Structure 1
Amino acid sequence: MKPSTPFKLWLCSLPMISIPFAGYAHESNDSIAANSKGGEERNVMLNASDATKPREIQIGLPSEDVTVYENGLPAVYSSTVHQLARHWRSDASLSKVGLLNPMESAIKTGNIAYSVDSYSGLGQKEFKGVVNYHTNLFGWQNFDMNVSGGITDKWLYTAGIYQNFDPGSFKPKFTDYSDRTQIYHAGITRLLDKGRISLLYKFSKSNGLGSMVNSAPFIYVGDGSVKEIPGFALGTTSYAPIGGEFKYMDVMDGKIKSGRWGDFTNNMAHDITALFDYTFGNGYMLNLSAKYMNAPHANFVDFGGSSIFQATAADNLFKDGSDTPYTGLAEGRRTWLHIGKVSNMLFTGELSKSFGKHDLRLGLNEWYYHLDYHSSSFQWTGTVSAYPDILTKHYEDGTSDKFRGFNELSPEYTKGYENKFAVYLTDNWTPTSKLSLYFGGRLEYYRMSADQLPFERYSGFHIGDTHTYTDAEGNQHTSVIEPRHVLKNKLNYAASLQGTYQLTRNFGLTADATVATRFPRINEYAGVGPTEEQYKRVTIPLIRGGITYRNNWVDLTSMITYISKSNNIDQQNVTKPGTTQSKTTLLIYGIKTLGWTTSAEIHPFKGFNLHALFTYQKPTYKDYFIKSPFEGVSDLNANGNIVKEIPQILIELDPSYNITDNIRFWLSFRYFGKTYANLTNALYFNGRWETFGGINWDINKHLSVGATVINFLNQKGASGTINGAELLSKEDADKYKNYYMSGNYLRPFTVEFSATLKF
C-alpha cells in the first residue's frame, strides 16, 4: 500500500469519516492489520454500541459508502441496499487484511475514506488448515474454517466455510437469531513461471435484524445522562415486538399485504472472481482482477421511533384481546421494508514498474452496477415495554387500524444502472534519503441511467396512484405516480500530493492535499431525488500537515487536518416535537471539519506496548436548512451547528503486555466526548468511556485460546440520535428533563471466548 508513510499517522490524523469494518464485531480480539506499506496493526473490531457492527474510524465526514475491497474490487459495490456485512466477513479465507488511507483510496476508487483492503488466500503447495471458534455468555456460536494445499506442482486449491449463529444479548421472539450468516468459499490457482491465475467462488446467505433490535427506550435526565426505565434493562431487553403478522402497502402496486418481521431480512449472493498477476522480464508487473456478483435477494428491515407519550383512555388504543383502553407509555413506531436485487460486473487492472527513484502505477477501473430496489413503509403504535405490544387504534366511526401511514415516510424506488470507467496514475518518488513525494491522479467517466419516483410522499403513496397536491403558489396539480427516467453522463476526478521530509534523525515534517469529486449516485435517486437544479458536483478537499518524532521507544505524530464536503444529499425523517407526526424531507448541505490529533506508539520496555491518541475536532454543518412541514414549528437553520452524533474529543488508550512469549494481556479504553443527539444541538449525551479487555494464549503452534470482556465497567448509556427530537429547539430543551425517549444504547457487559486450531 502506497504511500509508505506509517499507517498510524494517517489513521490518527483525521477526525470523523466512518469506516464500517464489516468483519463480525464479536471477533474483537483480532486485529485488522495494515499490509507491509501500511504500518502498525490497529484493533478496529471493538464496538461498544452494536454487537453486529465493528467500530467506526472517524475522519471528518459521513462515509462515502464502499469502504471494503476484496482482491482489489469492492466486496459489495454499494452497501446502501446489499449490506456489506451480509456478504463479507474477516474470516479464515483471507490471507491479508490491510487498509488504504484516504489519499490512496481517492485515487484507486474515487472515494475519500479509510478502506479495508483484503485479499483471499489462494493456497500453497503444502496442506494447511485453520479452524476458528467463538462463543459468549449469551449463546453466540461462530465457526470459521479454511483448508488449502497443492493438487500438483502447478495447481493449488482453497476452500472455506463461515457459520454465525448469534441470538444477540436477548432473544428475539420472532426468530432464533439476530444474525444468522453463512459464507462458503472455494478457489483454484494455476501457477505460472512468473505469475499465477486464479478462479474463486463465494456464496453467501445471511439474515440480520439490524435496527430492529438496536434501539431502546430510556429516561433523558436533561443533563446529558440517561436512566433506565424501571423494568427495561438497556442492552439485555428487547424493544422489538414479539412477532405475528403485520400489514403493509406494497409501493409497487398499492395492494395491502401481510408479512412477518423476519420475512424481509433474507440476503443471498453468488460471487465469481478471476485473478491474474504476472511479472515480465523487463520488470513490469501486471495485476488483473475481474468479478461478477449477483444478489437476487438483498433485503433488510429498518425500525425507527418518534415520541413517547402517556396514552389515556381518550386515545382509544387497545391491546389484542382486551376491551379496556390501554393507559400507559406508548410510542409511535416506524418500519421500512427494503427489497433489492443487485448485480455487478467489476474489472480493475494495474501495471507497475520502478524507474530509478520512481515507483509508478497505471490503473484502470471498469465498474458496472445494476440495481432493482424498492421499499415500503408503515407506522404503528407500541407499548413502551419489553417485547412491546402493537396497539390497535379505534375511531369514532367504528373503524380501527393496527398499522397506518402506509408509505407516508420515505418509501423508495429506483431501477437502473451506473457505470464508472476510470484511469489513474500514481508515483512514489524518493529524490533523496530525507525527502519522499507522492503524486496521484484519477479521471473517471460516470454514467447513470435510472428510473425514479420524483413525487412528494403521502399516506397511500404507490406506483399507479393518482395524487392531487397544491404548490407553493396555491395552484392544484394532479399527477399519476409512475417512474420517470434520469440519464446522466459526467466526469469525476481526484488528485493527491504528499510530501515528507526528515529534518533530523528523530524529527520529520509531513503534509498532503487531496481532492475528490463525484456526482449524485443511483441510490440517491431512490427517494424524491435531487431536481435538475439540485444536481451538483460533490467536492471533497482534504488538507493535512504536521510533525513526527521517532526514537527507539516512542513513535509520535501530531497533525492538523481540514476536510469538507459540499452538496451532501440526505433524506431526513423529521417529527413534530412531542407528537408522532412525521414527514420526510430531502436535504442538500455541506459539512466542514477542522481537527487536531496527536497519537503515539510507546514501547518503554520489552513486552509492553501502549497506543495513545487524542483528537479535538469541530465538525459543523454548512447550508443546512429544513423548512418545517408542521404548523407552529419553526424552520431549522443548522448552519454552524456541531454535526450530530460526532464527539469533539476522542481519546484512545490501548495498553498491552506480553506476560510470556505465548501469553498476551491487553486493555482498550476509548473516550467519546459530549455528542449532540439532534440537529439543533438542544439535546446531548455526556462523554463516555467504552472499555474492553482480554487475554490470548498460544498454547502451542497448533492451538490458541482467548477471552475478551466487553464493557467491563458495565456502563449503561445511550448513543446516536434521539428519536423524534430532530426539530426540537434549544428554548424547549428544558421541557425534556426526565423525559421518556428512545434511541441507541451501549452493548452490555459481555464475556467472549475464542479458540483457533491450526493443522
Structure 2
Amino acid sequence: MRKSLIKISALGLMLSFASVYGQEKTDTLAVKTAVNAATKNEEGVKTVTTSSKEDNNRNVMLNAANNTSPRDVNIGLPSTVGGITILENDLPVVFFFWPELPNKTWRQSLGLEKTGLLKMDQLANTMGDLGFAVNSYSQTGTKDFKLKGKFTTSTFGWLQGDVNASGPISKNGWTYTVGAFANFDPSTFKLGFARNVDETKIFRAGVTKYFNDDKGKISILYKYADSYNVGNYAVFQYGENGKVTELDNFRIGRDSYVVRDGQIKMKDILSGETYWANMDGNDNRSTSHNIDIFGNYLLDNGWNFKFSTRAHFATVKLSNIIPLSIFNADTASGYTIASTGQAYTGAVGTQLAMHTPKTPITNIAGRFSLNRQLGNHNVTFGVLEQYYNIDKFTSNRSFFFQTVEPQPQRLIGPATDADGFYNYNAGGEFHSGTENKLSVYGTDEWKVSDNFNLSYGLHLKNHIIDGEYSLTPRTVGFSFTDPGQFNQINQSFFQIGGSLNATYNISKNFGVIANLLYTEENRRLESYSQAFEPNTNKIKSPLGALGVFWNTDYIQLISQATYLKKNNNLNRYNLVNPANTTQAQNVTVYYDIQTIGWTTDFVVKPFKGFNLHYLITFQNPVYKKFNFNAFGKDYDYNDNNVLGVAKVLMEIDPSYSIDKWRFWASFRYFSKQYANLTNALYFAPRWETFGGVSYMVNKNINLGATVINFLNQRGASGTINGAELITDASPYYGKLLTGTYIMPLTGQFSVSFNF
C-alpha cells in the first residue's frame, strides 16, 4: 500500500561493501569516483569529503521521480517505502518515516556542510540497520565570514532559494550560522486546486563554540521545517512486451490524476464524525522544531569524544489518494458528475482516500562515541539512544470514483453517499505509544599487515515498544466509539547487527575482498495499526560477498558476487478482485526475499579532465514463503520475481572538465521490472538520463544547467495499482491502468555564489 504512496524511484546498483586498500593507497577503492553529482555537478562551489566510511560516487541526489528526495539505492530488495535512510549529524532525521516522511524535515541544501552516502557496513555497525544512508552534517559556525547561496528554477516554473551565512561573533571562539531554504515546486503537472505540488520551507540558526588549542567544538542549532507534498500517478494503456502507450487525452508526467478540487470526505475513526480534508497544505502539512547539540572534544589521553543530541517535535497532517482500478460505465450504471449532476459514461477510476489528522510526534535522540588510533587499530566505541512518541495516530479511509482525464472530477455512483464517497474506514488504522532503542556498538579498522586489512563491528540493541492498539475489525463505517476496545502493547526485543570486511593485496594493485554483514529487527509500533496481532518474530538479514579489486592511477575496479536474504517481511496490499474490479480488500502478507547478485564497478581516468564511472549489476531477487488469502481464494507466489527490482542494472557517468567548464552526464539502465505480484505484468526496459554543464564565472560564482530525462522517455515505472492478482496479461492489452512514472523532459537552471 504505502509503496504506492511515496514511491521513490528504485534506482540501481549494488555497491561495494568494503574499503579496499592497496599497498601504497589508503583510499577507498570503489568509492573514488566522480563525487556526488548533486553537490558538484550543479553547484561547482561545494565540496564533499571522502572517507573510508562513505561512498561519494553514487549520484544519490539525482532522483528521476521528483525534486524532493534522494534516490533509493537498490540492494536487490524492494525499495523501502520511506526511501533511503537519511542521517543528519549522525542521527536519523526522523525516527520512523510514517507518517512524518524524511523529506518533510530534510532537504539537500546549503544549510548542510557536507553530504555523502554511508555504506552498508557502517549503517549496520552504527545504527543496526540494513541498507545505505545519506549521511549529512549541518553547517556550523565558522571562524571567518562565509556567505553561500543558490537559486534554482526549471522549465516548469520550479522556484527554489537557498542561502546560508556564517561567521565569528567574538574573538574567544564563538561563531554563528543562519540559513533559509524555500522550495515552491509545481512539478511537471498542473493540479486543479493549487499551483505547487511541493512547498517546503526550512529555517536554521545556531551558534558554535571552538575550544582552545583545537580541542574541538560544540554547536547548538535550531531548525524549523514546514512542508506539504502532493503525489501523482499516470494513466496509460498497457500493451504487449511491457510497453505502455500514452493516451491522447492524458500525458504521462504532464497531467494530474488528482481529483480536481483536492477534497476528500472522511469519517474520524476516533470520534465518528465526518469531515472534509484538503490535499493542499491545510490538511496535508508537516511542521517540526528541531534542536541539535553536537560536537567533539579531544581528550588529553588522545581519545576523541564525539557527541550528537537532538530534540525533535513535529505535528503531522497527511492526505493521500491512491488509484486502485479503472472500469467502464454505461448509461445504465448510474454515475453522475458530483459538481454538476450531469450523467457520466466512460472510464471510471476507483480511488482510495486516506487522511491522518493532526498528530503530535516527539523524538529525543543522542549518540556518544570515543575514537582513537591505537597502533594498527582505529577503534570506536559508542552509545546510541532513540526515544519516540506518537500520540493517537489514525489513518481514516474512504473510497470514491472519479473521471479518467486530466484534473478528474468526482463522481456520484449507485453505491456512494450524496457526496460520492463510500466504505468509510474499511481498513482504517490506529496506534499510539512510544518506542525506545538503546544501543551500544564498537568498530575497529585493523591494518594487520601491509597486504591484509580487517574492518569489523558489532551493534547490540534493546528495542522496547509500549503503547496501545485495537483488535476490533475495521468494517465499513467503523469508529472506536462503537465499541472502541483498545489493547496494550508491551514488547521488548534484543537485536544484534554487525559486519566483517577483509581485503588482501595479492600484488601491489590487485587483491581480493570478502564481506559479511548481519542485521536483526522486529516489528515497530506502526505494525500494530491494523486489527490483528502482528508477527513479532525476528527479522534476520544475512549478507555475504566475495570479489576482487584492481587499483592503479588510471583505473579503479571492483567486481564481486553477493548473497542477501531477509525473512519475515511485512507488506499491506490494497488488492482489487480480478473478477469484480469494484471490490477491494486490504491484505497483510508476511514473506521472505532472497537475492544473488554480481556487480562490477570501475572508474577510468584516461586523460586529464576526463572521468568515466561504469557499473553493471546482475541480480535475481525472488519471493520466498509468499502466500495469502484474498476474496476467498488462496494465493502462493513463492519464487516469483520481486516487484519493481530490475535484474540488470547499469550506470554510465562520464564527465569532462576544461578551464572553467564542466560537462557531465548520467545514464541509468533498468531491465524488465515486474509490476504485479503474479509477474504477469511488467514494464519494458528503460533508460533514465541526466546531463548538465556548469561554468565557473569566477571563484565565487557558478552557473549550472541540468536536463532530466533528456531522451524524453514517457514510460511508466514501479508497480501497477490494482493489478496485483492479474494472472493473464493478454486481457489487459489495451486496458487503461495507473502507475508511477519518471519525470518528463525537464530543464533546470541554477546560479550559485560562495563568498
Structure 1 residues 546-576: Cα deviation after superposition (integer angstroms, max 9, x where no partner): 0001222111110101111111122111111
**Does residue 1:126 correspond to 2:129, yes or no?**
no
**Does residue 1:749 correspond to 2:745, yes or no?**
yes
Q: Which residue of 1 aligns with 2:398?
A: 378
Contact 1:22 1:85 (C-alpha < 8 Å) held by counterparts: no
Q: 2:76 aligns with which of 60, 63, 66?
A: 60
**Does residue 1:508 correspond to 2:508, yes or no?**
no
- Cα distance change of structure 1 residues 168 and 30 upon mapping to structure 2, 3 Å threshold: farther
Shift of 1:62: 4.0
Contact 1:25 1:54 (C-alpha < 8 Å) held by counterparts: no
Q: Which residue of 1 aligns with 2:217?
A: 196
Shift of 1:54: 3.0
Contact 1:368 1:418 (C-alpha < 8 Å) held by counterparts: yes
Contact 1:463 1:482 (C-alpha < 8 Å) held by counterparts: yes
Q: 1:723 aligns with which of 721, 724, 729?
A: 721
TM-score (norm 1): 0.91
Structure 1 residues 50-90: Cα deviation after superposition (integer angstroms, max 9, x where no partner): 34333221012245657111111111111121110010111
- Cα distance change of structure 1 residues 8 and 415 upon mapping to structure 2, 3 Å threshold: farther
Q: 2:734 aligns with which of 738, 742, 745?
A: 738
Q: Which residue of 2 aligns with 1:277?
A: 296
Q: Which residue of 1 aligns with 2:7?
A: none
**Does residue 1:528 correspond to 2:548, yes or no?**
no
- Cα distance change of structure 1 residues 337 and 9 upon mapping to structure 2, 3 Å threshold: same
Shift of 1:4: 4.1
Contact 2:352 2:400 (C-alpha < 8 Å) held by counterparts: yes
Contact 1:331 1:580 (C-alpha < 8 Å) held by counterparts: no
Matches within 5 A, 1:348-747: 348-372=367-391, 373-394=393-414, 400-408=418-426, 410-465=427-482, 480-531=483-534, 534-577=535-578, 579-628=581-630, 630-631=631-632, 634-658=633-657, 660-729=658-727, 732-747=728-743
Matches within 5 A, 1:67-216: 67-153=85-171, 154-193=173-212, 194-209=215-230, 211=231, 213=232, 215-216=233-234
Structure 1 residues 577-604: Cα deviation after superposition (integer angstroms, max 9, x where no partner): 2512111111111111100010110111
TM-score (norm 2): 0.92
Shift of 1:42: 2.8
Give the Cα–Cα distance (whole angstroms) in 2 for the partners of residues 724 and 342 of structure 1: 32
Structure 1 residues 174-212: Cα deviation after superposition (integer angstroms, max 9, x where no partner): 122101100001110111121222111001111111x2x
Structure 1 residues 711-735: Cα deviation after superposition (integer angstroms, max 9, x where no partner): 1111110011111111111xx2211
Give the Cα–Cα distance (whole angstroms) in 1 for the partners of residues 62 and 403 of structure 2: 33
Secondary structure of 2:620's aligned partner: strand
Moved more, 274-283 or 748-757: 274-283
Shift of 1:99: 2.1
Q: Which residue of 1 aligns with 2:3?
A: none
Secondary structure of 1:286's aligned partner: strand
Secondary structure of 1:589's aligned partner: strand
- Cα distance change of structure 1 residues 310 and 161 upon mapping to structure 2, 3 Å threshold: same
Contact 1:331 1:384 (C-alpha < 8 Å) held by counterparts: yes
Percent of counterpart pairs with the same letter? 35
Give the Cα–Cα distance (whole angstroms) in 1 for the partners of residues 149 and 31 of structure 2: 33
Secondary structure of 2:527's aligned partner: helix
Structure 1 residues 101-141: Cα deviation after superposition (integer angstroms, max 9, x where no partner): 11110110110111111111212211110011100011110
Give the Cα–Cα distance (whole angstroms) in 2 for the partners of residues 73 and 321 of structure 1: 48
Unpaired stretches in structure 1, ≥5 consecutive residues: 13-20, 466-479
Moved more, 552-561 or 118-127: 118-127
Give the Cα–Cα distance (whole angstroms) in 1 for the partners of residues 456 and 63 of structure 2: 35
Shift of 1:11: 11
Give the Cα–Cα distance (whole angstroms) in 2 for the partners of residues 196 and 447 of structure 1: 33
The letter of the residue matching 1:752 is: Q
Give the Cα–Cα distance (whole angstroms) in 2 for the partners of residues 177 and 407 of structure 1: 29
Secondary structure of 1:647's aligned partner: coil
Shift of 1:3: 6.5
Matches within 5 A, 1:315-334: 315-320=333-338, 322=340, 324-334=342-352
Give the Cα–Cα distance (whole angstroms) in 2 for the partners of residues 225 and 8 of structure 1: 39
Secondary structure of 1:223's aligned partner: helix
Shift of 1:705: 0.3
The letter of the residue matching 1:367 is: Q
Contact 1:23 1:54 (C-alpha < 8 Å) held by counterparts: no
Shift of 1:355: 1.2
Q: Which residue of 1 aligns with 2:237?
A: 219
Q: Which residue of 2 aligns with 1:314?
A: 332
The letter of the residue matching 1:163 is: A
Secondary structure of 2:272's aligned partner: coil
Shift of 1:643: 0.4
Secondary structure of 2:73's aligned partner: coil
Shift of 1:369: 0.6
Give the Cα–Cα distance (whole angstroms) in 2 for the partners of residues 311 and 28 of structure 1: 52
Contact 2:42 2:706 (C-alpha < 8 Å) held by counterparts: no
Structure 1 residues 472-509: Cα deviation after superposition (integer angstroms, max 9, x where no partner): xxxxxxxx342211110121111211100111112111
Give the Cα–Cα distance (whole angstroms) in 2 for the partners of residues 22 and 516 of structure 1: 30
Moved more, 505-514 or 52-61: 52-61
Contact 2:45 2:702 (C-alpha < 8 Å) held by counterparts: no
Shift of 1:23: 8.7
Higher relative contact order (CA 8 A, sep 6+): 2
Secondary structure of 1:251's aligned partner: coil
- Cα distance change of structure 1 residues 266 and 590 upon mapping to structure 2, 3 Å threshold: same
Secondary structure of 2:698's aligned partner: coil
Contact 1:24 1:53 (C-alpha < 8 Å) held by counterparts: no
Structure 1 residues 266-319: Cα deviation after superposition (integer angstroms, max 9, x where no partner): 110000111131111221110111110100x22222221222111111210001
Contact 1:602 1:610 (C-alpha < 8 Å) held by counterparts: yes
Contact 1:30 1:43 (C-alpha < 8 Å) held by counterparts: no
Contact 1:129 1:148 (C-alpha < 8 Å) held by counterparts: yes
Secondary structure of 1:105's aligned partner: helix
Give the Cα–Cα distance (whole angstroms) in 2 for the partners of residues 238 and 25 of structure 1: 33
Q: Which residue of 2 aligns with 1:469?
A: none
- Cα distance change of structure 1 residues 525 and 32 upon mapping to structure 2, 3 Å threshold: farther
The letter of the residue matching 1:443 is: L
The letter of the residue matching 2:264 is: F
Give the Cα–Cα distance (whole angstroms) in 2 for the partners of residues 103 and 366 of structure 1: 20
Shift of 1:237: 0.8
- Cα distance change of structure 1 residues 610 and 427 upon mapping to structure 2, 3 Å threshold: same
Give the Cα–Cα distance (whole angstroms) in 1 for the partners of residues 32 and 683 of structure 2: 25
Contact 2:565 2:595 (C-alpha < 8 Å) held by counterparts: yes
Contact 1:25 1:46 (C-alpha < 8 Å) held by counterparts: no
Secondary structure of 2:184's aligned partner: strand
Contact 1:148 1:157 (C-alpha < 8 Å) held by counterparts: yes
Structure 1 residues 302-357: Cα deviation after superposition (integer angstroms, max 9, x where no partner): 22122211111121000135555311111111111123321111011001111111
**Does residue 1:303 correspond to 2:305, yes or no?**
no
Contact 2:93 2:106 (C-alpha < 8 Å) held by counterparts: yes
Moved more, 637-646 or 59-68: 59-68
